[in-house]
Protein backbone atom coordinates (compact mmCIF):
# COMPACT_ATOMS: atom_id res chain seq x y z
CA UNK A 1 0.00 0.00 0.00
CA UNK A 2 1.37 3.43 -0.91
CA UNK A 3 2.41 5.65 1.99
CA UNK A 4 0.32 8.70 2.76
CA UNK A 5 1.92 11.97 1.61
CA UNK A 6 3.69 14.00 4.30
CA UNK A 7 1.22 15.95 6.41
CA UNK A 8 3.44 19.02 6.45
CA UNK A 9 4.72 18.92 2.87
CA UNK A 10 3.10 22.29 2.16
CA UNK A 11 5.36 23.76 4.84
CA UNK A 12 8.41 22.44 3.02
CA UNK A 13 8.93 19.16 4.87
CA UNK A 14 9.49 15.90 3.06
CA UNK A 15 8.63 12.54 4.63
CA UNK A 16 12.01 12.27 6.38
CA UNK A 17 11.83 15.81 7.73
CA UNK A 18 8.36 15.17 9.10
CA UNK A 19 9.50 11.99 10.88
CA UNK A 20 12.42 13.88 12.44
CA UNK A 21 10.09 16.68 13.55
CA UNK A 22 7.58 14.30 15.12
CA UNK A 23 10.43 12.50 16.93
CA UNK A 24 11.62 15.78 18.48
CA UNK A 25 8.04 16.66 19.42
CA UNK A 26 7.59 13.34 21.18
CA UNK A 27 11.00 12.97 22.84
CA UNK A 28 11.91 16.53 23.74
CA UNK A 29 15.61 17.42 23.53
CA UNK A 30 17.32 15.35 20.88
CA UNK A 31 20.78 15.41 19.32
CA UNK A 32 21.52 14.73 15.68
CA UNK A 33 23.22 11.48 16.67
CA UNK A 34 20.17 10.25 18.60
CA UNK A 35 17.79 11.03 15.75
CA UNK A 36 20.16 9.50 13.19
CA UNK A 37 20.28 6.27 15.17
CA UNK A 38 16.50 6.22 15.50
CA UNK A 39 15.90 6.40 11.75
CA UNK A 40 19.12 4.81 10.47
CA UNK A 41 20.22 8.03 8.80
CA UNK A 42 23.63 9.55 8.28
CA UNK A 43 24.32 12.08 11.01
CA UNK A 44 25.09 14.72 8.39
CA UNK A 45 21.68 14.15 6.77
CA UNK A 46 19.93 14.32 10.14
CA UNK A 47 21.75 17.53 11.05
CA UNK A 48 20.61 19.06 7.76
CA UNK A 49 17.01 18.05 8.52
CA UNK A 50 17.16 19.53 12.03
CA UNK A 51 18.61 22.78 10.74
CA UNK A 52 15.83 22.93 8.16
CA UNK A 53 13.28 22.59 10.97
CA UNK A 54 15.11 25.34 12.83
CA UNK A 55 14.93 27.64 9.80
CA UNK A 56 11.16 27.06 9.70
CA UNK A 57 10.91 28.01 13.37
CA UNK A 58 9.69 24.55 14.39
CA UNK A 59 12.66 23.69 16.66
CA UNK A 60 15.34 25.59 18.51
CA UNK A 61 19.00 24.64 18.87
CA UNK A 62 20.49 24.42 22.34
CA UNK A 63 24.18 25.24 22.19
CA UNK A 64 26.73 22.87 23.61
CA UNK A 65 29.56 20.51 22.67
CA UNK A 66 26.93 18.26 21.06
CA UNK A 67 24.05 20.62 20.20
CA UNK A 68 20.59 19.41 21.02
CA UNK A 69 17.32 20.44 19.45
CA UNK A 70 14.03 21.12 21.20
CA UNK A 71 10.60 21.59 19.64
CA UNK A 72 8.81 24.94 19.74
CA UNK A 73 5.18 24.66 20.88
CA UNK A 74 3.37 23.75 17.61
CA UNK A 75 0.35 25.83 18.65
CA UNK A 76 2.49 28.86 17.92
CA UNK A 77 5.20 27.56 15.57
CA UNK A 78 2.82 26.06 13.03
CA UNK A 79 0.51 29.06 13.22
CA UNK A 80 3.48 31.21 12.24
CA UNK A 81 4.20 28.87 9.33
CA UNK A 82 0.56 29.14 8.21
CA UNK A 83 0.74 32.93 8.42
CA UNK A 84 3.81 32.94 6.17
CA UNK A 85 2.12 30.61 3.69
CA UNK A 86 -0.97 32.84 3.69
CA UNK A 87 1.22 35.86 2.94
CA UNK A 88 2.86 33.98 0.07
CA UNK A 89 -0.53 32.91 -1.30
CA UNK A 90 -1.76 36.50 -1.07
CA UNK A 91 1.28 37.75 -3.01
CA UNK A 92 0.58 35.17 -5.72
CA UNK A 93 -3.07 36.21 -5.84
CA UNK A 94 -2.08 39.87 -6.16
CA UNK A 95 0.32 39.00 -8.98
CA UNK A 96 -2.34 37.20 -11.05
CA UNK A 97 -3.60 40.33 -12.92
CA UNK A 98 -0.04 41.23 -13.96
CA UNK A 99 0.70 37.65 -15.05
CA UNK A 100 -2.58 37.54 -16.99
CA UNK A 101 -1.49 40.66 -18.85
CA UNK A 102 1.75 38.93 -19.81
CA UNK A 103 -0.18 35.85 -20.95
CA UNK A 104 -2.72 37.81 -22.98
CA UNK A 105 0.01 39.88 -24.61
CA UNK A 106 1.77 36.71 -25.77
CA UNK A 107 -1.42 34.90 -26.87
CA UNK A 108 -2.57 34.93 -30.50
CA UNK A 109 -4.83 37.87 -31.27
CA UNK A 110 -8.46 37.46 -30.34
CA UNK A 111 -11.34 39.59 -31.57
CA UNK A 112 -14.65 40.49 -30.03
CA UNK A 113 -16.15 42.19 -27.02
CA UNK A 114 -15.83 41.15 -23.40
CA UNK A 115 -18.95 39.02 -23.89
CA UNK A 116 -17.75 37.19 -27.01
CA UNK A 117 -14.20 36.26 -27.96
CA UNK A 118 -13.25 34.40 -31.12
CA UNK A 119 -10.37 31.92 -30.81
CA UNK A 120 -8.46 30.71 -33.85
CA UNK A 121 -5.37 29.06 -32.34
CA UNK A 122 -5.41 25.37 -31.24
CA UNK A 123 -3.28 25.99 -28.15
CA UNK A 124 -5.53 28.84 -27.07
CA UNK A 125 -8.67 26.73 -27.49
CA UNK A 126 -7.12 23.86 -25.51
CA UNK A 127 -5.99 26.27 -22.79
CA UNK A 128 -9.48 27.75 -22.53
CA UNK A 129 -11.03 24.30 -22.19
CA UNK A 130 -8.64 23.51 -19.33
CA UNK A 131 -9.38 26.89 -17.76
CA UNK A 132 -13.13 26.28 -17.87
CA UNK A 133 -12.65 23.00 -16.03
CA UNK A 134 -10.71 24.81 -13.31
CA UNK A 135 -13.43 27.48 -13.11
CA UNK A 136 -16.36 25.09 -12.69
CA UNK A 137 -17.94 25.22 -9.25
CA UNK A 138 -21.46 23.82 -9.83
CA UNK A 139 -21.98 22.39 -13.30
CA UNK A 140 -20.04 21.39 -16.42
CA UNK A 141 -21.94 20.40 -19.58
CA UNK A 142 -20.17 19.19 -22.71
CA UNK A 143 -20.64 17.88 -26.22
CA UNK A 144 -17.76 15.50 -26.92
CA UNK A 145 -17.17 14.85 -30.61
CA UNK A 146 -14.31 14.95 -33.11
CA UNK A 147 -12.24 16.61 -34.39
CA UNK A 148 -10.17 16.96 -31.23
CA UNK A 149 -7.76 19.74 -30.35
CA UNK A 150 -6.20 18.06 -27.34
CA UNK A 151 -6.40 14.69 -25.65
CA UNK A 152 -9.97 13.75 -24.81
CA UNK A 153 -9.03 12.81 -21.26
CA UNK A 154 -6.75 14.83 -19.01
CA UNK A 155 -6.34 14.89 -15.22
CA UNK A 156 -8.55 17.93 -14.73
CA UNK A 157 -11.95 16.24 -14.98
CA UNK A 158 -11.24 13.84 -12.12
CA UNK A 159 -10.31 16.81 -9.94
CA UNK A 160 -13.47 18.68 -10.96
CA UNK A 161 -15.64 15.66 -10.16
CA UNK A 162 -13.90 15.30 -6.79
CA UNK A 163 -15.01 18.87 -5.98
CA UNK A 164 -18.64 17.78 -6.38
CA UNK A 165 -19.29 19.53 -9.68
CA UNK A 166 -22.25 18.09 -11.62
CA UNK A 167 -20.63 16.96 -14.91
CA UNK A 168 -22.83 15.80 -17.79
CA UNK A 169 -21.30 14.80 -21.12
CA UNK A 170 -22.83 13.68 -24.40
CA UNK A 171 -20.55 11.64 -26.65
CA UNK A 172 -21.03 10.69 -30.28
CA UNK A 173 -20.32 7.22 -31.61
CA UNK A 174 -17.45 8.79 -33.56
CA UNK A 175 -15.92 9.86 -30.23
CA UNK A 176 -15.06 6.22 -29.62
CA UNK A 177 -13.33 5.92 -32.98
CA UNK A 178 -11.14 9.02 -32.77
CA UNK A 179 -10.73 10.03 -29.14
CA UNK A 180 -12.49 8.40 -26.24
CA UNK A 181 -12.68 4.75 -25.26
CA UNK A 182 -15.53 2.94 -23.56
CA UNK A 183 -13.31 2.04 -20.60
CA UNK A 184 -12.21 5.64 -20.11
CA UNK A 185 -15.77 6.96 -20.20
CA UNK A 186 -16.96 4.24 -17.82
CA UNK A 187 -14.06 5.08 -15.50
CA UNK A 188 -15.21 8.71 -15.37
CA UNK A 189 -18.79 7.53 -14.80
CA UNK A 190 -17.57 5.65 -11.73
CA UNK A 191 -16.12 8.94 -10.46
CA UNK A 192 -19.39 10.79 -10.99
CA UNK A 193 -19.63 11.85 -14.64
CA UNK A 194 -23.10 11.40 -16.14
CA UNK A 195 -22.60 10.25 -19.72
CA UNK A 196 -24.95 9.66 -22.63
CA UNK A 197 -24.28 8.66 -26.22
CA UNK A 198 -25.84 9.89 -29.44
CA UNK A 199 -25.20 9.38 -33.13
CA UNK A 200 -24.36 12.97 -34.01
CA UNK A 201 -23.92 16.39 -32.40
CA UNK A 202 -24.01 19.70 -34.30
CA UNK A 203 -21.09 21.37 -32.48
CA UNK A 204 -18.43 20.90 -29.83
CA UNK A 205 -19.56 22.60 -26.65
CA UNK A 206 -18.69 23.26 -23.01
CA UNK A 207 -20.88 25.26 -20.62
CA UNK A 208 -19.73 26.13 -17.11
CA UNK A 209 -22.09 27.06 -14.27
CA UNK A 210 -24.62 28.44 -16.77
CA UNK A 211 -22.41 31.54 -17.11
CA UNK A 212 -19.79 30.95 -19.81
CA UNK A 213 -19.66 28.73 -22.88
CA UNK A 214 -17.05 27.53 -25.36
CA UNK A 215 -18.52 26.49 -28.72
CA UNK A 216 -16.87 25.39 -31.96
CA UNK A 217 -17.40 27.54 -35.04
CA UNK A 218 -16.14 24.92 -37.48
CA UNK A 219 -15.87 21.14 -37.57
CA UNK A 220 -13.41 20.98 -40.45
CA UNK A 221 -10.37 18.81 -39.65
CA UNK A 222 -7.28 20.94 -39.33
CA UNK A 223 -9.22 24.15 -38.55
CA UNK A 224 -9.83 25.39 -35.04
CA UNK A 225 -12.28 28.26 -34.68
CA UNK A 226 -14.22 28.63 -31.46
CA UNK A 227 -16.22 31.22 -29.56
CA UNK A 228 -16.08 32.07 -25.87
CA UNK A 229 -19.22 33.84 -24.68
CA UNK A 230 -20.48 35.26 -21.40
CA UNK A 231 -23.64 36.70 -22.98
CA UNK A 232 -26.54 35.39 -20.83
CA UNK A 233 -29.06 34.94 -23.70
CA UNK A 234 -26.57 32.98 -25.80
CA UNK A 235 -25.36 30.85 -22.89
CA UNK A 236 -28.98 30.06 -22.01
CA UNK A 237 -29.76 29.15 -25.62
CA UNK A 238 -26.75 26.82 -25.71
CA UNK A 239 -27.84 25.25 -22.44
CA UNK A 240 -31.26 24.53 -23.92
CA UNK A 241 -29.52 23.00 -26.95
CA UNK A 242 -27.62 20.74 -24.56
CA UNK A 243 -30.79 19.71 -22.71
CA UNK A 244 -32.53 19.02 -26.03
CA UNK A 245 -29.83 16.53 -27.07
CA UNK A 246 -29.45 15.16 -23.53
CA UNK A 247 -33.11 14.12 -23.44
CA UNK A 248 -32.66 12.18 -26.69
CA UNK A 249 -29.28 10.59 -26.02
CA UNK A 250 -28.89 7.02 -24.79
CA UNK A 251 -27.45 6.42 -21.29
CA UNK A 252 -23.92 5.01 -21.34
CA UNK A 253 -24.69 1.42 -20.21
CA UNK A 254 -27.55 1.06 -22.71
CA UNK A 255 -25.45 2.51 -25.52
CA UNK A 256 -22.55 0.15 -24.92
CA UNK A 257 -24.90 -2.80 -24.73
CA UNK A 258 -26.45 -1.85 -28.08
CA UNK A 259 -23.16 -1.32 -29.88
CA UNK A 260 -21.45 -4.29 -28.26
CA UNK A 261 -24.29 -6.77 -28.64
CA UNK A 262 -25.65 -5.84 -32.05
CA UNK A 263 -22.43 -4.83 -33.71
CA UNK A 264 -24.28 -1.89 -35.26
CA UNK A 265 -22.16 0.78 -36.87
CA UNK A 266 -23.26 4.35 -36.39
CA UNK A 267 -26.77 3.58 -35.19
CA UNK A 268 -28.25 3.88 -31.72
CA UNK A 269 -31.81 3.01 -30.90
CA UNK A 270 -33.70 5.65 -28.90
CA UNK A 271 -34.34 4.81 -25.29
CA UNK A 272 -37.17 2.36 -24.89
CA UNK A 273 -40.48 3.73 -23.64
CA UNK A 274 -41.17 1.59 -20.63
CA UNK A 275 -44.61 3.05 -19.93
CA UNK A 276 -47.32 5.41 -21.10
CA UNK A 277 -48.23 8.60 -19.27
CA UNK A 278 -51.18 8.49 -16.88
CA UNK A 279 -54.25 10.67 -17.41
CA UNK A 280 -53.09 12.92 -14.57
CA UNK A 281 -49.60 13.26 -16.06
CA UNK A 282 -50.99 14.08 -19.48
CA UNK A 283 -53.20 16.77 -17.92
CA UNK A 284 -50.31 18.31 -15.99
CA UNK A 285 -48.07 18.37 -19.07
CA UNK A 286 -50.77 19.79 -21.30
CA UNK A 287 -51.62 22.60 -18.87
CA UNK A 288 -47.95 23.35 -18.31
CA UNK A 289 -47.40 23.50 -22.09
CA UNK A 290 -50.01 26.27 -22.48
CA UNK A 291 -48.31 28.34 -19.78
CA UNK A 292 -50.80 27.92 -16.94
CA UNK A 293 -49.46 28.76 -13.47
CA UNK A 294 -48.97 26.08 -10.81
CA UNK A 295 -51.79 27.37 -8.61
CA UNK A 296 -54.25 27.35 -11.51
CA UNK A 297 -53.18 23.85 -12.59
CA UNK A 298 -53.59 22.60 -9.02
CA UNK A 299 -57.12 24.03 -8.81
CA UNK A 300 -58.00 22.62 -12.21
CA UNK A 301 -56.87 19.12 -11.22
CA UNK A 302 -58.11 19.25 -7.62
CA UNK A 303 -54.73 18.82 -5.92
CA UNK A 304 -52.66 20.94 -3.57
CA UNK A 305 -50.00 23.28 -5.05
CA UNK A 306 -47.34 21.36 -3.12
CA UNK A 307 -48.42 18.05 -4.69
CA UNK A 308 -48.55 19.67 -8.10
CA UNK A 309 -45.00 21.03 -7.74
CA UNK A 310 -43.73 17.62 -6.63
CA UNK A 311 -45.39 15.85 -9.56
CA UNK A 312 -44.10 18.49 -11.98
CA UNK A 313 -40.52 18.04 -10.77
CA UNK A 314 -40.83 14.27 -11.07
CA UNK A 315 -42.07 14.61 -14.63
CA UNK A 316 -39.28 17.02 -15.60
CA UNK A 317 -36.71 14.62 -14.16
CA UNK A 318 -38.18 11.62 -15.99
CA UNK A 319 -38.27 13.54 -19.25
CA UNK A 320 -34.72 14.78 -18.78
CA UNK A 321 -35.96 18.37 -19.12
CA UNK A 322 -34.59 21.49 -17.51
CA UNK A 323 -37.72 23.59 -17.94
CA UNK A 324 -41.36 23.39 -19.00
CA UNK A 325 -40.66 24.06 -22.66
CA UNK A 326 -38.20 21.18 -22.86
CA UNK A 327 -40.66 18.96 -20.98
CA UNK A 328 -43.35 19.76 -23.52
CA UNK A 329 -41.05 18.97 -26.46
CA UNK A 330 -39.99 15.64 -24.99
CA UNK A 331 -43.54 14.73 -23.91
CA UNK A 332 -44.75 15.38 -27.46
CA UNK A 333 -41.91 13.26 -28.87
CA UNK A 334 -43.03 10.39 -26.62
CA UNK A 335 -46.65 10.82 -27.59
CA UNK A 336 -47.70 11.80 -24.05
CA UNK A 337 -49.47 14.98 -25.19
**Of 196, 311, 298, nearest in space to 256 by CA:** 196
Total-model pTM? 0.53
Residue 168: beta bridge partners? 141, 194
Same domain, 230 and 290: no
Same domain, 243 and 305: no
Q: Which residues pair with 213 in a beta bridge?
A: 207, 229
Ranges in the chain, pLDDT < 70: 1-11, 100-114, 149-155, 178-180, 256-275
Residue 218 shares a structural domain with residue 290: no
Domain boundary among 75, 106, 137: 106
Task: Find the domain containing 24 and state its range.
Answer: 1-106
CATH, residue 161: 3.30.870.10
Number of domains in the chain: 3
- Check whether residue 59 and residue 147 sit in a common domain: no
Bridge partners of 192?
none
Q: According to the model, what pLDDT value does residue 166 have?
A: 93
Instruction: Answer with the one of 237, 262, 287 that is the final residue of a domain.
Output: 262
Q: Is residue 149 part of a domain?
A: yes
Per-residue burial over 198-217, b if 16 or more Cβ lie within 10 Å, else e, is beebeebbbbbbeebbbbbe
pLDDT given at position 215: 93
Regarding whether 309 and 186 lie in a shared domain, the answer is no
Count the neighbouring beta carbons within 10 Å of the beta carbon of residue 42. Answer: 10
Q: Taking the chain, what is the end-to-end CA distance rounded to the nearest angstrom?
A: 57
Domain annotation covers residue 111 = no
Q: Are residues 159 and 210 in the same domain?
A: yes
Pair (289, 223) in one structural domain: no
Dihedrals phi, psi of 140, to nearest 5 degrees? -135, 120
Look at residue 11 in the predicted model and tell me its pLDDT: 67
Note whether residue 267 is domain-resident.
no
DSSP 293: -
Query: What is the DSSP annotation of 229-265?
Result: E--HHHHHHHHHHHHHHHHHSEEHHHHHHHHHHH--S
In a domain, 220, yes or no: yes
CATH code of the domain covering residue 292: 1.10.10.10
Amino acid sequence: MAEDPPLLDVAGLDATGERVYVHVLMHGRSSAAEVAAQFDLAEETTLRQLEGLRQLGLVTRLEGRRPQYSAVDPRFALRAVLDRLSDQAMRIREAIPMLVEYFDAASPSESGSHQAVVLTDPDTVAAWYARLQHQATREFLSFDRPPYVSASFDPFEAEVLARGVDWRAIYTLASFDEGSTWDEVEGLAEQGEQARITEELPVKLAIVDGEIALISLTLEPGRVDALITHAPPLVQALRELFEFHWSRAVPLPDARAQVGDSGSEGRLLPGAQVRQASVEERSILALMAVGMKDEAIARQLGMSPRTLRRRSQELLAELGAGNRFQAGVEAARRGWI
